[in-house]
């Protein structure tokens, strides 16, 4: 951390909802902070769909991370069968409510929308599909939190973002950046970083 510019943040990929205890294998917020990190990603699709984390648990993790002084990137998103059933916003709003109920300071929150069907599959939501969901999330925040939070909260898109699609996604008015996985390990990651330039 000490060798990086201050404008580059470092995030852990998970943390638990308690300060300490018999939670073998879990990472505490204190451990993350001790490493010099100020951010944590919570509720990523693999945590939900592989490890069975519930909306309630993710909300509790968000609340504890914020109380512990971390900034959070909570992830929301639907699976392919939910999208095909027309339940995208229903799923996203349910997940978002569990998070919002535990947020104490929205200035420390960056939401990531990641359609599960587009993660690591090479498929990506079209810019129009992504923008539609991002706009719906922003509208939900306006109606359920307040207009200021809706306007100021950054909403990232995550789902097979690549050098080939990053500029089109970045041009969408409600997409404020990208949550990048595998593409961050490739040389053309710099193109994604510079997509808004």
Is 114 annotated in the active site? yes
Assign 41 to helix, strand or coil: strand
Helix (H, G, I), strand (E, B) or coil at 46: helix
Chain centroid to CA 116: how far? 12
Please confirm, yes or no, whether 19 is among the known catalytic residues: no
Q: Which member of 44, 60, 78, 134 is catalytic? A: 44
Distance CA 147, CA 143 (A): 7
Report the distance separating Cα 117 and Cα 160, nearest Å: 10
Residue among 19, 114, 128, 151 flagged as catalytic = 114
C-alpha span between 55 and 76 (Å, rounded): 9
The catalytic residue positions are: 44, 114
């Amino acid at each position: 951390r000490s060798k990086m510019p201050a404008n580059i943040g470092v995030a852990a990929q998970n943390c638990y909802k308690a300060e300490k205890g018999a939670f073998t294998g879990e990472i505490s917020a204190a451990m993350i902070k001790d490493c010099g990190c100020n951010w944590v990603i919570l509720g990523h699709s693999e945590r939900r769909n592989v490890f069975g984390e519930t909306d309630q648990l993710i909300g509790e993790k968000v609340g504890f991370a914020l109380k512990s002084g971390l900034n959070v990137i909570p992830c929301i998103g639907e699976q392919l069968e939910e999208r095909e059933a027309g339940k995208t916003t229903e799923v996203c709003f349910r997940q978002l409510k569990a998070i919002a109920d535990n947020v104490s300071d929205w200035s420390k929150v960056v939401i990531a929308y990641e359609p599960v069907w587009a993660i690591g599959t090479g498929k990506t939501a079209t810019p129009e599909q992504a923008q539609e969901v991002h706009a719906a999330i922003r509208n939900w925040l306006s109606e359920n939190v307040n207009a200021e939070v809706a306007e100021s909260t950054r909403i990232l898109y995550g789902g097979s973002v690549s050098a080939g699609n990053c500029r089109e996604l970045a041009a969408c008015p409600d997409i404020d950046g990208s949550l990048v996985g595998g593409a961050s390990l490739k040389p053309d990651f710099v193109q994604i970083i510079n997509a808004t330039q």
